[in-house]
């Protein structure tokens, strides 16, 4: 019995390590180049997701999901066409390529499939750079459903033990495993395996007319055993202590005054209000006010801001981006001066800013775009106490909640846990505060940075979908900002 190469691939399409993929990809890239494309890129992925929700003492939702597909992107004269597909047969991939080429007015020179001879415009793929070879057992090492649900219920039970006046207790767990293979006609050929796990606890406390709702999220990458090592007791105590404090807090008065933002998730404001404006996606759209300001001051000299994908275990770290490039440590702002932008393949082509290993996407259904990874304001020379002591009357923001950001950096963010600063000391807890501002105005007002940099896991939604990121900063002082309240 003779088994054809096509049949062999069809039966093992779920194995991105199958050497037959090289031949298929080379033929596909060759066909795209022969049709006249400047560059052709194929992104293949396989995913395995598990989501679990616990409410009170019960598991109320279990959401497994599995997926596989390809995204094909072609470039011509600064333009690009992108098509995604779940059909990984020869005919399915060729159809997707033809559709992407058609967006640019190009046509495949042959309809004979993807097994034809290579075009002289494309000389084949190099040796595979395999970042996933040491990660083959990560999915098997992760907690199974019974173990993950058990740990989550342990967390909600501890909330009951440590909290008071709790009306609702919730715990969430998410595990995302992804295998990717990227090939492009510029010689890119790389594979990786990614693993992200996140866990959150939240409570709603109520006593008469008093209400407080708080939550915490924890997340890591590349660490299969993290859920087993989670300190549920400490997490529950943290959430319940904050909820108990905020339950009877007074509402803050609105006004303009100094604010000290805590470390970790306080960095979400820089990420949202300024970080997105330093992506070449915004330069292409003409929506960043910083487009022509490289080499100029855009922030206080106390501010140095960095984006990188290298920190071990951080939610936004990666061995390679979704265009097959290894991550870098990118200094965006140094001593207040804008040094560079985050750039992907399209950003480099259209804006001239060199790639930084920042091409990211949620899945094969999205074309990659310039996106943040681990983004933070660097540590400074002060202690958190120094910052608080420098404020006569202001607001200390220990924990940030949700918010919204406009296309050019206007923002408003809720303060989940806040305290008044009076005569250089923390006094009463206050709630209902909202920080309102604009990136160009606020960045020059960050006058002091403490020495306690920490990172926090988060999710970021933008043009290429929702991705895993890290935000962070030390304690920082903003000299003045609009605070919404009562």
Structure tokens at 317: 């770290």
- The C-alpha atoms of residue 403 and residue 434 are separated, in whole angstroms, by 9
Q: Backbone phi, then psi, for 444, in 5-degree steps? A: -70, -10
212, 276: one domain: no
> CA 466 from chain center: how many Å?
7
Instruction: For residues 388-396, give the mean pLDDT.
Output: 98
Residue 363 lies in a domain: yes
Q: Is the pLDDT of residue 3 over 80?
A: no
pLDDT of res. 225: 95
pLDDT per residue as tens digits for the range 232-282: 999 999 999 999 999 999 999 999 999 999 999 999 999 998 999 999 999
Read off the pTM.
0.93
* 443 and 313 housed in the same domain: yes
Ranking 114-128, 274-288, 356-370, 408-422 by mean pLDDT, the lowest is 114-128
Do 37 and 165 have their domain in common? no
> Is residue 188 very low, low, confident or very high in pLDDT (cuts 50, 70, 90)?
very high
In this prediction, residue 404 has a pLDDT band, given cuts at 50, 70 and 90, of confident
Query: Is residue 410 left, alpha or beta, with left meaning phi > 0 and alpha meaning psi from -120 to 50?
Result: beta
Whole-number pLDDT of residue 121? 79
CA distance 39 to 340: 25
Helices (H) and strands (E) in the chain, counts: 12, 23
In a domain, 334, yes or no: yes
Residue 12's pLDDT is 44
DSSP labels, 34-80: HTT-SEEEEEEEEEEEEEEEEETTEEEEEEEEEEEEEEEEEEETTEE
Tell me if 334 sits within 8 A of 242, measured CB to CB: no
Q: Give the list of residues 6+ apart from residue 234 with CB closer than 8 angstroms, or none.
A: none
From 204, 223, 248, the end of a domain falls on 248
Return the pLDDT at 56: 96
Helix (H/G/I), strand (E/B), else coil: 442: helix
CATH of the domain at 238: 3.30.160
Same domain, 211 and 149: yes
- The whole-angstrom separation of Cα 206 and Cα 165 is 6
Q: Mean pLDDT across the stretch 374-392? A: 98
Instruction: Locate 35 and state its tokens.
Output: 């049709």
- Asked whether residue 453 carries a pLDDT value surpassing 90, the answer given is yes
Residue 406 pLDDT level (bands cut at 50, 70, 90): confident
Phi and psi angles of residue 340, each rounded to the nearest 5 degrees, phi first: -165, 175
- The answer to whether residues 476 and 260 touch, using CB atoms and an 8 Å cutoff, is yes
Q: What is the pLDDT of residue 13?
A: 53
Residue 61 lies in a domain: no
Residues 242 and 356 in one domain: no
Is residue 278 located within the same domain as residue 404?
Answer: yes
Percent residues over pLDDT 90 in the chain: 90
pLDDT confidence bin for 14, thresholds 50/70/90: low
> Does 279 reside within a domain?
yes
Q: Are residues 465 and 433 both part of a single domain?
A: yes
CA distance 350 to 359: 14
Q: What is the pLDDT of residues 16-54, one digit of tens each?
A: 988 899 999 999 999 999 999 999 999 999 999 999 999
* Domain-located, residue 56: no
User: Comparing C-alpha atoms, which of 484, 482, 468, 474 is closest to residue 452?
Assistant: 474
186, part of any domain: no
Distance CA 64, CA 449 (A): 42
Same domain membership, residue 391 and residue 362: yes
464 DSSP assignment: T
pLDDT band at 403, cuts 50/70/90? Answer: confident
Q: What confidence category does residue 120 fall into, taking pLDDT thresholds of 50, 70 and 90?
A: low
Both 311 and 236 in a single domain? no
Residues in the chain: 486
Provide the 10 A C-beta neighbour count for residue 342: 30
Domain residues for 343? 255-484
| pLDDT computed for residue 119 by the predictor | 54
Residues 114 and 233 in one domain: no
Q: What is the pLDDT of residue 8?
A: 38
Claim to verify: residue 241 and residue 378 sit in the same structural domain: no
* Mean confidence (pLDDT) of the chain: 93
For residue 4, is pLDDT > 60? no
Side-chain-facing half-sphere of 347: CA atoms under 13 Å = 28
CA 336 – CA 301 distance, rounded (Å):
4
- How far apart CA 85 and CA 350 sit, in angstroms, is 26
DSSP code at position 265:
G
Name the one residue in this structure whose structure tokens are 């470390």: 263
Residue 15 has pLDDT above 90, yes or no: no
| pLDDT reported for residue 407 | 85
- pLDDT, mean of residues 225-234: 96
The two most distant CA atoms of the chain are separated, in Å, by: 87
Are 377 and 335 within 8 A, CB to CB? Answer: no
pLDDT at 451 over 60: yes
- Of 248, 270, 290, the one marking the end of a domain is 248
Q: Which long-range contacts (CB under 8 A, 24 or more apart) does 103-111 make?
A: 103/74, 104/37, 104/74, 104/76, 104/79, 104/80, 106/35, 106/36, 106/37, 106/74, 106/76, 107/35, 108/31, 108/32, 108/34, 108/35, 109/31, 109/34, 109/35, 110/31, 110/34
Residue 187 lies in a domain: no
| 410 within domain boundaries | yes
Domain count, the chain: 3
- Looking at the structure, tell me whether residues 381 and 445 fall in a common domain: yes
């Amino acid at each position: 019995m003779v088994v054809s190469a096509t049949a062999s691939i069809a039966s093992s399409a779920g194995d991105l390590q199958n050497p037959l993929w090289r031949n298929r990809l080379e033929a596909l890239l060759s066909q795209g180049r022969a049709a006249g494309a400047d560059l052709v890129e194929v992104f293949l992925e396989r995913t395995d997701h598990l989501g679990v929700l616990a409410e009170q003492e019960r598991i109320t939702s279990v959401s497994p999901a599995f997926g596989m597909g390809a995204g094909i992107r072609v470039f011509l004269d600064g333009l690009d066409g992108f098509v995604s597909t779940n059909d990984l047969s020869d005919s399915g991939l060729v159809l997707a390529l033809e559709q992407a080429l058609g967006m640019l007015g190009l046509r495949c020179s042959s309809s004979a499939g993807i097994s034809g001879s290579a075009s002289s415009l494309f000389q084949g793929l190099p040796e595979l750079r395999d970042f996933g070879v040491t990660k083959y057992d990560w999915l098997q090492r992760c907690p199974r459903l019974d173990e993950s649900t058990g740990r989550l219920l342990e967390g909600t039970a501890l909330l009951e033990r440590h909290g008071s006046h709790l009306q609702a207790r919730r715990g969430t767990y998410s595990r995302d495993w992804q295998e990717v293979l990227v090939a492009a006609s510029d010689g890119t050929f790389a594979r990786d395996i990614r693993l992200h796990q996140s866990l959150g606890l939240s409570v709603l406390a109520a006593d008469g007319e008093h209400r407080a709702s708080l939550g915490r999220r924890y997340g890591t990458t590349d660490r299969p055993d993290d859920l087993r090592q989670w300190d549920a007791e400490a997490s529950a105590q943290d959430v319940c202590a904050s909820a108990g404090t905020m339950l009877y807090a007074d509402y803050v008065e609105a006004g303009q005054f100094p604010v000290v933002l805590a470390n970790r998730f306080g960095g979400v404001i820089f990420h949202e209000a300024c970080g997105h404006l330093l992506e070449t996606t915004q330069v292409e759209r003409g929506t960043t006010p910083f487009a022509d300001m490289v080499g100029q001051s855009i922030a206080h000299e106390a501010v140095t801001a960095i984006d990188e994908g290298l920190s071990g275990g951080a939610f936004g770290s990666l061995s390679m981006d979704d265009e097959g490039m290894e991550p870098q440590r990118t200094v965006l702002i140094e001593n207040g001066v804008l040094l560079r932008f985050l750039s992907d393949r399209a950003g480099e082509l259209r804006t001239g800013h060199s790639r930084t290993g920042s091409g990211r996407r949620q899945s094969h259904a999205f074309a990659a775009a310039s996106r943040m990874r681990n983004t933070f304001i660097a540590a400074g020379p002060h202690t958190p106490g120094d910052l608080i002591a420098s404020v006569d009357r202001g607001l200390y923001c220990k924990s940030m909640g949700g918010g919204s950001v406009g296309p050019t950096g206007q923002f408003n963010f809720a303060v989940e846990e806040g305290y008044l600063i009076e005569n250089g000391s923390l006094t009463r807890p206050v709630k209902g505060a909202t920080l309102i501002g604009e990136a160009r105005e606020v960045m020059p007002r960050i006058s002091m940075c403490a020495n306690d940099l920490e990172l926090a896991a988060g999710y970021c939604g933008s043009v290429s979908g929702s991705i895993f990121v890290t935000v962070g900063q030390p304690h920082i002082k903003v000299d003045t900002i609009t605070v919404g309240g009562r």
